[in-house]
Each structure stands twice: as C-alpha cells, then as structure tokens.
Structure 1
C-alpha cells in the first residue's frame, strides 16, 4: 500500500468531444488526473502521453464505437501508466479496487487473522496474529510453526479452502519443542490491526502493523507511550517490520510521540505547502488542530525495526527518527517508496487510480530519499523465529542496552 493519503475521491469524467463510450470516459478521467493532479518526479510529457495512448484506445475501440466497454480501456490505461515511469502510480481494475478498500479502511471479512511466512519443507511460521481474530481466540502466537491441517501436510490451498467454507479445521502446530493441536474456524472479524505493546523487562515493544486510515493508529501509539511511561520503562522499540504504510497523518501524529518537532514541504501540481508536527498538533498553512488526546512524548532511548517490506509511511517514520537523531533504525533497506505520497481516485466503472500527487523535501530543499538505509543492518530469520528466536528484535534490545550504557552498536 504505498505512501497513501487515503482519500477516495470521485474523479471527473469529462469526455473529449465526440467521445461517449464507457472506455473513452474512463480514459479521459485518467488522463485529466495525470495532467492536473500528478505531483511525482516523472519528467514524461503527459500531454504527449495522452495523445499517444488516445490513438491506441481508438484502435482498440474501432469496432464497438460508442459501445466500447470499460474493460477495453484497461490494458491501454495500464500501458499508459507504465510509460509514465512512476512505479508509485498504478491503475486498479474494479476487483483489485474492492480488495484495496477492504484492506485500507479496515473492513471486516471472513479470516483467521494470521500472517504467515514460508519455511523450509513447506511449513509456515506465524508472524502476526490480529487481536480479536479467530487465531487470537485459540491462542496462536508469533513464531508458531504450522505443519499440518486436519492430519494432512500443510498447504496454502487447504487453508484457503477451509477459510472460504468457514469450517473448523485442526491445525498441527509446533511451538519451540512443544507439539500442539488447535481447532479453529475462520470468522468474520475486522482487518483493522491497531498498535499494541508487550513488555520485555524494562523495555516496551510497540508494534505498529499499519498506518491504516480512519483514525485510531496515532491515538493508540500515544496511549501506549503514556502507558509505558507509567510503567517506568527504560527504553522503547518501535516495530515497523512489514508495515506497508497507510495514512500519512496517522503516521505523522505517531512520529510526534518520539520526535519533538519536524517540518516537511509538499511539492504538488498546485504549489508547495509546509506541514509542521509537534506535540500531537498538525499545522498546515495558517491552520492547526490537535490530532490526539493527551499527547505523549518519549525522550528516552529508542530503536526502530524495519524490513524490506516496510514502505511508505513507515519509511517516513524511520526517516524522521534518523533525521532528529532520536534513535537507531535497525534492519534491512526498506521498500523504496518513502519520498512521495499518493492519493486514490475512484473512476467510472468502479475502477481507481493510485496517483502520485506529492513529493517531499525538507524546508532547506533537501529531498527525501526513496528508501531508508538502517543505522544497524540486520534481517529477520524465520527459521530461527520458528524456534523462538526473534533475531532482529534481539538486536534492537541490544542497541537499547548499549544506548543506556553509552556504548555504540554497529
């Protein structure tokens, strides 16, 4: 999900003279958005791009004329966007757009509520359990190794089939050296995976799985930081591994629990604007608003964990922590979508376009880089995770310990 200011807006569907087919209407909407709202880094001449692909659409619709259907335009538009050369901008066909909406707005669906990674031999390891889900209810945990379903060797097809039916299954699980068997049935539960914390001695580990739009993430982060302070922790690890992004404001408000103040300049097709975030307050232009209740601020030692799947808003989070020298970032180089923001525009025919509308610089003009290079390199080892060792988290804990002792870790 990329650097998303997730604001679903209806795109204008103004057709060119003499063009009345659904395919043409869709193509016109996309082309107008590319012309008038694109704020990315592509230098392609977008007027010439429209002219080039208008000819291709004319050829595709030659036989159907005004009856040319929406789906005839899909491959033309997809090629047009590829030619733009911005890998953050892409077209969503209707089916993909419906899935995106469910994912990005936290709707409910039939699910187990677990995220998995491949292991050798075809097994899977649980990397995430969504609170309130079916998997959470039967006690599955991060690091559990799934080895069988109903007495058969584990396979994704078996899991998917049982989920679709909503029928109970028996999962054969290994937790370290212990063999377990749990019965679970997929249930309708929210996909809204909000921040949560666990305490390892005197360190709080705050897991932020996503910066999903709709409120709740930033408030949750501030509440967890306030709770950690009441518990008297000596350090905080913020876990952004596999966080694919979401809403930039939720992200910015979350950052403000760790970075005292930061300013970012947005460069768009409509001009430049600066945003300053401090103490849970968002300031844009001459206006400001308090975005969280009882804002927290953690000024003690901290570390941020990232992976190669950490993208978009999570890259912004890590970068502001680095820029302010508030803590060390630990993990792999991130996905590389951390210098722009996209907006999703709904199109005629229930399709959509995710369009880069903004790219960012610091107030002095310094551009944001595409990806985060961690201060301390490391990577998840899922085979070790299935044996109870979270190596990247352990590295983060070591960094906090060294920070308290005044000893650098590389």
Structure 2
C-alpha cells in the first residue's frame, strides 16, 4: 500500500537529513516546453534545473553540468523507468550520497514521515532473526491497533489470510498500511494464550516521535525521553514531554538519541532551545559561503541536569542537537561516536509525483569543527558489549534499563551530580 498523505507541492522546509521544499524552475523556450510537457523528459529537466540552482558544490564534482543537460535532453525516453535511470546515473556522478532521486512511492513515504502523519493500523514491527517470526515492537498510543488490544510482543501470523512467514519486513509493512477506512484482518499469536483473529480499520495516525516516562533510580526522579526522529510534530511532543515530567517532579533528564537518523533542521533548533538558555546551536553555510547561525533565545523550559545518549546511528539533526548541548556544556553526552552527516538537504516535488533530495548546505556545531564523515565524540565513551547488543535486540523491553550499560552510565552520572549538588537544591523552572 502507498501511505495516504497530504500533498505539499510548495512547502519550504529544511531537513538535516531530507526535507520538503519548493521547486524553482528556469525558463525554457515554448517549443521545448510543448515538446516536453507530460513527457518523461520534463522530469529529467526539472531535476537538472534544481541541481543547477541549489547543489552545494558549485563545481558539480567536476562534472560539466551544462553539457550534462544537453546530453540528457538529447535522449528519447519512452517511459518513466528510462528517465528515472538517467536521473539516477546523473546524480551518481555528483558524488554525494544524499543528493538522490525519490520515485513517487518513496516521496510520499518521506512526506508522511516528516509530517508525522500516515495511515494504517499503528504498529511498529520487526522480524526475529532466529525464527523469522513477525512481531509487534510497539502499538502506537490511540492507534487502531492499540484500541484493538494489540501489544508489544504479539506475533502476527497472517495478514488478510497471507502467511507472514513468506514476507520480508517491507512486504509486511505494505500489507498493514492502506487507505483510511479500509479493513485488515490479522491472525495474532500471544504467548500463553490461544491464537486469535482481529479486524482493524485503518485510520490516519499521528506518529509519535517522542516516548517518555518517569523513572525511580535510587531515590532520583529521572525523566527519560526517547526521541525517534525530528518530524514536524517532534518539537511540540518534546515540550509536552518535558512539561509532563516536570509536573511529575523529575529532578534530572536522560535524552536518548540512539538510533535517531535525523529529520527536520528547524525541529532540532526548536528542541535545542528547550534545553539551552543561551549559546550557539548550529551554523549553516550555503554554497556561496553565506552563514546562517541559530542561537538559543532564552526560552529554555528546564535547566535540570541532562545526559544525552548517542550511538553510531545518531545522525544529522541528532548530531546538531547533541553537538549544541555538548559544546555549550548543557549536557553530558554518553555512548559512542555519532554517524557523521554534516550536510543539509532540501526535497522538491517533481511534476510526476516523484521527488528530488539535493544537498544545499553544510552545517557546523558551535566549535566550527567539520563533523561530516567524522561524527561527534561523546564526553564519555560507553560501548555496548556484543552480548548486550544481542540481548537488547532480542528483548526490546530491556532497552533503557539496568541491562543497558549506556543508560546505566547516564543514571550513574546523574546520581553523582545529585550527590554533589543535593537533589533538593536543583531547581525546576516552571
């Protein structure tokens, strides 16, 4: 199924990984325009124009980009597949893995991801590598799946009568998604209970980017926040999480960015401002060398002690946030080196419903260090052992518990901080 989404043909928004943006066209002669209208060649030329106007490397990786346009438009494309193949080859020559073409289905999925909304039943799924069983990792709160009583650990045996043992993860995901108002029938196996069937009606789902809880850790009230991605809803969800945890008398926070691949640039800036009262957050440098610096604006909602968890899959917008909090000494960063993606993309909708992601700028943390392909080093390096990695992959409920040494290190740091300052002396900003 293709996720049902709202169309954003001219939305102007930047992602530190990918984003939705407007399409700026160069003028073309009426004759050529008439020839290319509704032709696969039109999409090829749209791609060329966007790259020509916006790509961060003004030398185009030593490719003669004007000559490339003549070459591309001299060909005849009998179908979209041929045009898409030519686009992908031209983009490959630019040498930038983040400048890429998005076929219509991928572009719709990206829009859905960054908007924080999709349609379906509302479950996150995974495949057990030992048994190849498809199971539910999480049922999103207030989703049709949650309302139907599905839980983490439930095994999905069949989807609309088709055995999931014959599906890979993408196929199972596509089978679960669908148009709003349509039904899907699931056969569920739950440990300790007889198998049962459930019919679920798909609906529009607000996908949460933030999960949070208050933890009692040795007399310390720790507000634990897991941020999965920087969607357009992430900042508000983060503010709600901080506010709720402070109402529950949290005396310190753990912000978990492990596995977070990034998302909207402005979401990372907004979230940084929730934790920082002052200091530079990030410096964005465009292809002409122009700088756009983002600063904290004295709008922090908490000044409580903070530890940030990162790993090799914390990328892009995650690195902007972690770098700002680390270099401004607002938080202690724990874990392993981050991914190392120091570029910003804009994504454009093309005339046939496909999209184009193009790298338009580079970003730098407050220190000005280039983190691209290098990542951000944590203040305290804490590796997970192979045994821990395996245990956590097999039993996600152990994630962010004492069985997770990175989380345990974060708690130890906060407890030490509290013992030095006295828990009662730590203020809560309302």
- TM-score, structure 2 length as denominator? 0.75
Name which of 320, 325, 335 aligns with 2:324. Answer: 320
Gaps of 5+ in 1: 282-294
Gaps of 5+ in 2: 1-13, 418-430
Displacement after TM superposition at 1:270 (Å) = 4.7
Q: What is the aligned partner in structure 2 of residue 14 from structure 1?
A: 27
Does the CA-based 8 Å contact 1:334-1:373 persist in structure 2? yes
Separation of aligned partners in 2, 1:135 and 1:42: 50
Separation of aligned partners in 1, 2:354 and 2:208: 26
Name which of 70, 76, 88 aligns with 1:54. Answer: 70
Does the CA-based 8 Å contact 2:189-2:196 persist in structure 1? yes
Q: Deviation per CA, 1:143-199, whole angstroms, max 9, x where unpaired?
A: x2527448997536395546667333231134xxx5575644252131532423112
Separation of aligned partners in 2, 1:132 and 1:405: 35
Does the CA-based 8 Å contact 2:230-2:267 persist in structure 1? yes
Displacement after TM superposition at 1:268 (Å) = 0.9
Q: What is the aligned partner in structure 1 of residue 354 from structure 2?
A: 351
Separation of aligned partners in 1, 2:111 and 2:206: 11
Q: Deviation per CA, 1:20-78, whole angstroms, max 9, x where unpaired?
A: 323443333222222221125986135x04414632542x31xx7xxx65554221111
Alpha carbons of 1:89 and 1:221: their partners in 2 closer, same or farther (altered >3 Å)?
same
Alpha carbons of 1:329 and 1:137: their partners in 2 closer, same or farther (altered >3 Å)?
farther
Does the CA-based 8 Å contact 1:253-1:280 persist in structure 2? no
Alpha carbons of 1:204 and 1:367: their partners in 2 closer, same or farther (altered >3 Å)?
same
SS of 1:366's equivalent in the other structure is: coil
Separation of aligned partners in 1, 2:19 and 2:247: 34
Separation of aligned partners in 2, 1:378 and 1:269: 39
Does the CA-based 8 Å contact 1:235-1:400 persist in structure 2? no
Does the CA-based 8 Å contact 1:122-1:154 persist in structure 2? no
Q: Deviation per CA, 1:254-286, whole angstroms, max 9, x where unpaired?
A: 1222233324221113541232332476xxxxx
SS of 2:91's equivalent in the other structure is: helix
Q: What is the aligned partner in structure 1 of residue 239 from structure 2?
A: 222
Displacement after TM superposition at 1:11 (Å) = 3.3
Q: What is the aligned partner in structure 2 of residue 292 from structure 1?
A: none
Does the CA-based 8 Å contact 1:78-1:90 persist in structure 2? yes
Show structure 1 runs of 4+ deviating over 6 A: 150-153
Name which of 34, 38, 54 aligns with 2:51. Answer: 34
How does 1:6-405 map onto structure 2 within 5 Å? 6-12=19-25, 14-15=27-28, 19=32, 20-21=35-36, 22-39=39-56, 44-46=61-63, 48-52=64-68, 54-58=70-74, 60-61=75-76, 71-142=81-152, 144=153, 146=155, 148-149=157-158, 154-155=164-165, 157=167, 159=172, 161=175, 166-174=183-191, 178=192, 181=195, 183-184=197-198, 185=200, 187-201=202-216, 202-213=221-232, 216-260=233-277, 261-279=279-297, 295-306=300-311, 308=313, 310-331=314-335, 333-337=337-341, 339-362=342-365, 365-370=368-373, 371-374=375-378, 375-378=381-384, 381=389, 383-384=391-392, 386-387=394-395, 389-391=397-399, 393=401, 394-405=404-415
Separation of aligned partners in 2, 1:331 and 1:100: 28
Q: What is the aligned partner in structure 2 of residue 284 from structure 1?
A: none
After superposition, the CA RMSD in angstroms is: 3.5
Separation of aligned partners in 1, 2:311 and 2:201: 30
- TM-score, structure 1 length as denominator? 0.78
Q: What is the aligned partner in structure 1 of residue 10 from structure 2?
A: none
Does the CA-based 8 Å contact 1:125-1:386 persist in structure 2? no
Alpha carbons of 1:302 and 1:117: their partners in 2 closer, same or farther (altered >3 Å)?
farther
SS of 1:155's equivalent in the other structure is: helix
Displacement after TM superposition at 1:87 (Å) = 0.6
Separation of aligned partners in 1, 2:223 and 2:70: 56
Displacement after TM superposition at 1:90 (Å) = 0.3
